[in-house]
Amino acid sequence: MISQKMADAINDHVKTEFESAYLYLAMSAYLEAKNLKGMAHWLKEQFKEEMEHADRFMKYLYERGARVVLGGIAKPAEEFGAPLDMFKAVLKHELYVTGRIHKLMDLAIEEKDYASQSMLTWFIDEQVEEEASAENIINKLEFLGGSNTSIYLLDQELGQR
């Protein structure tokens, strides 16, 4: 069994994963409208990953005998600016998610909940990848500059994901 405090914290985090998915879906739609289909595709894949993360947390709760309780999510923004601004927002959001996962780990350690610690280790490792991926795109955008040609080339690259 999992403690109610830990189950509540994970349920709250499930909401964060859905909010992340919704944010990335909104960003993808924005880029589709700007005809940046490769970047839109990259963010659509991020959307799918976040949905998988939410599902993974929910399955964990089921396995531990806890009830999943879904909270409401906020409407994401509609405008995101230039690609560099958008990917900086992606990184900022991923850093936020990382902080939340670290707080879950802190709680699991406090409660001596070794099963939750084991499960959360996967997410901590995943966040390292998520942050590195966003940083890589930001670095490329900063290196290439904001020219249409550089945006076009990066769009093509990101479409290969």
**Residue-range domain boundaries for the chain:** 4-158
Task: State how far the Cα of 150 lies from the Cα of 143, in Å rounded to an integer.
Answer: 9
What Rg, from alpha-carbon coordinates, does the chain have? 17
| CA contacts within 13 A on the Cβ side of 50 | 25
pTM of the model: 0.94
Helices (H) and strands (E) in the chain, counts: 5, 0
The predicted pLDDT at position 101 comes to: 98
Task: Give the model confidence (pLDDT) of 12-63 as tens digits.
Answer: 999 999 999 999 999 999 999 999 999 999 999 999 999 999 999 999 999 9
Place of tokens 């349920």: 11
The predicted pLDDT at position 30 comes to: 98
- 3-42 core/surface letters (b: 16 or more CB in 10 A; e: else): eeebbebbbebbbbbbbbbbbbbbbbbbbeebebbbbbbb
What's domain 4-158's superfamily in CATH? Answer: Ferritin, core subunit, four-helix bundle (1.20.1260.10)
Task: Give the model confidence (pLDDT) of 88-143 as tens digits.
Answer: 999 999 999 999 999 999 999 999 999 999 999 999 999 999 999 999 999 999 99
